[in-house]
Amino acid sequence: MYLEISGFTFQQASDRGGAVGINLVGQFWHSFIHENRFQNSIAGIRLTYSASVIIHDNLFEGGEFGGSGITIVDSFLNIKVIENTFLNLRKYLGSVAGIGIYASRGRFSKGSDIILANNNLRNISGYGIIVYDSVGVKIRGNTVESALIGIMVYDFSEAVSIENNWVRGQLAHGISISYSSAVINGNLIEENQGHGIEIWKGEMERAPAVELLQNQIFRNMQFGIWSERVEYVTACRYNQLKENKAGDYATGPITEPQPSPELKQKCEGK
């Protein structure tokens, strides 16, 4: 058995209420959602406690009343979000995200097994992609442009890989990792108004653990890489940093980052 939804337009007719275009709850059969258009929904697609869902080649637009794209909550095992387009997502009140993964820690050792690949996200007033309290999420080959923060991973998320994405022109930071573990590999991170990559713990008990490998980090308006402490960067190799306005490497408090020869030494061995 399987479920297929294709060729529809889902559009909320006013700014009242919290309409969701497609809402799957406890769906474990193979589901395919493709080639639909979503506009004006609090979420175009929402998955809760579901598995074996493939979402591809859909268009998500903000429209007159705004809204978010895809929301995935407590879902696990073979969730794929591939080659979708997210444009002009915003809302006067409330948080907006192109793709949001929440409380999806999975039921097996490898975590939730969620793949976000080759999506195009542009002009989003909140987060392009956000991962919250989740395990086993792969973010690869996406373009995130002109969001508030391009990709954010936080609240004790683990085993998150961010690979070969183009993260450009955010209003704040390109990639933000807080009290979570992640591998950031092979991304082009450029021309963001904040840091290219920021890594921080704040007041939380758990320290982040982040590997930075083979990234290109260019022309960001603050630092290329800012980590609250040097030890939060567990590996740092073969990255290229240049023309970041405040400098390439920084550590220190979030309110007052300072150039860091120690982080430069760790990353470049010079």
Q: Half-sphere exposure (CA, 13 Å, Cβ side) for 220?
A: 33
List, in order of start, the domains of the chain with CATH numbers. Answer: 21-268 (2.160.20.10)
When mean pLDDT is compared across 84-93, 163-172, 227-236, 243-252, the lowest value belongs to 84-93
Q: Each residue of 141-171: pLDDT tens digit?
A: 999 999 999 999 999 999 999 999 999 999 9
The tokens for 57 are: 């080649």
The pLDDT of residue 94 is 63
The pLDDT of residue 65 is 62
Mean pLDDT over the full length of the chain? 92
The pLDDT of residue 76 is 84
pLDDT of 7 over the 90 cut: yes
The pLDDT of residue 122 is 96
Name, in order, each residue with C-beta under 8 angstroms of 21's C-beta and a sequence gap of 6 or more: 10, 36, 38, 41, 43, 44, 45
Q: Each residue of 207-226: pLDDT tens digit?
A: 999 999 999 999 999 999 99
pLDDT band at 92 (very low <50, low <70, confident <90, very high): low
pLDDT band at 41 (very low <50, low <70, confident <90, very high): confident
Q: In what order do the strands lie in the sheet with 240-242?
A: 9-11, 37-39, 59-61, 85-89, 120-124, 143-145, 166-168, 188-190, 216-218, 240-242
Place of tokens 């992640």: 182
Between the two ends of the chain, the Cα-to-Cα distance in Å is 59
Q: Each residue of 190-205: pLDDT tens digit?
A: 999 999 999 999 888 8
Name, in order, each residue with C-beta under 8 angstroms of 256's C-beta and a sequence gap of 6 or more: none
Rg of the chain in Å (alpha carbons):
18
Q: Each residue of 240-267: pLDDT tens digit?
A: 999 999 999 999 999 999 999 999 999 9
Q: Each residue of 43-74: pLDDT tens digit?
A: 899 999 999 999 999 999 986 666 789 999 99
